[in-house]
Chains A and B, each alone.
Chain A
Amino acid sequence: MARRYNTYGAGDTGTDKTVLTMVSTTAIRPKICDILVGAGTTPSDHASKFVMNRFTAGGTGTAFTPVALDPSDPASVFTSAYNHSSEPTYTAAAYLLGWSMNQRGTFRWVAAPGFELVAPATAANGIGLKTLSSTATADYEASFLVEE
């Protein structure tokens, strides 16, 4: 049975920034089955476009150690990062999910079993959540539930 993990992080404040990434390895195909997005601070009345985008290099960010939903599971094979100082190398227009939302709202997407967002079994490849455009400086945080 697949193991499930939670990963969480807040993006660097600014426009067109990556909020959170999930990075694959050659050993597994990690799958994102749940996405939650909201604002971590007192949000202003502005909106942003979000996309889940494939990337081929993970950039530089703060690592978040994924937490196993089942405490008896071993450490995850995939890795995760947030608060990127250097953006991942995104594949053009490889958007796996897109939406717009007000910073004061919250967003959740849940995949039906078997219809998750899947990353290839390739080192440094993965899927990132990023803002495409914002009406003001955005400050978001997100959480992924990942299966591997």
Chain B
Amino acid sequence: MSDKNLTTLRPNGLVIVQNVDGSTFEGETRQCCHCGGHWLIQPGSGKIRGWCGKCNAWFCSPACMECVPHEKMLDIMAGIVNPSAVTVAGGMRLGKIGKVV
């Protein structure tokens, strides 16, 4: 795994950890466009992330591949939108080396 921590141009969040030995770790997070969760960007971690062509943004894992935009998901949770009325096609998944699989 790479030791580069600050790797992205426009991070969605910043993590600052003060370690036991007094050192400081800084890292960046990205937000999933479907579930709204954040993950720490760790180049070379081997974890599969993806890009949604409809949302034009990243999603966090194959489990979040179906395109239900975050705002829409919050409406579904609040009972404002019927889940069956939401379009779910259109997302795509990227492999570890960045190719569509």
Which residues from chain A sit less than 8 Å from chain B, CB to CB? 26, 29, 45, 94-97, 99, 101-102, 104-112, 115, 117-118, 120-122, 125
Contacts and interface: CB of A to CB of B under 8 A. Distances in A.
Nearest to A31: B36
Nearest to A47: B20
Contact of A97 (B38, B74, B75, B77): B38
A94 B35 contact: yes
Contacts of A26: 78
B12 A106 contact: no
Interface of B: 10-20, 29, 31, 35-40, 70, 74-75, 77-80
9 A-B pairs with the lowest CB-CB distances in the bound complex, closest first: A120-B77, A115-B12, A96-B37, A106-B18, A104-B20, A120-B78, A108-B16, A115-B31, A121-B78
A93 B16 CA distance: 24
A105 B79 contact: no
A95 B17 contact: no
B13 A122 contact: no
A97 B28 CA distance: 12
A108 B78 CA distance: 29
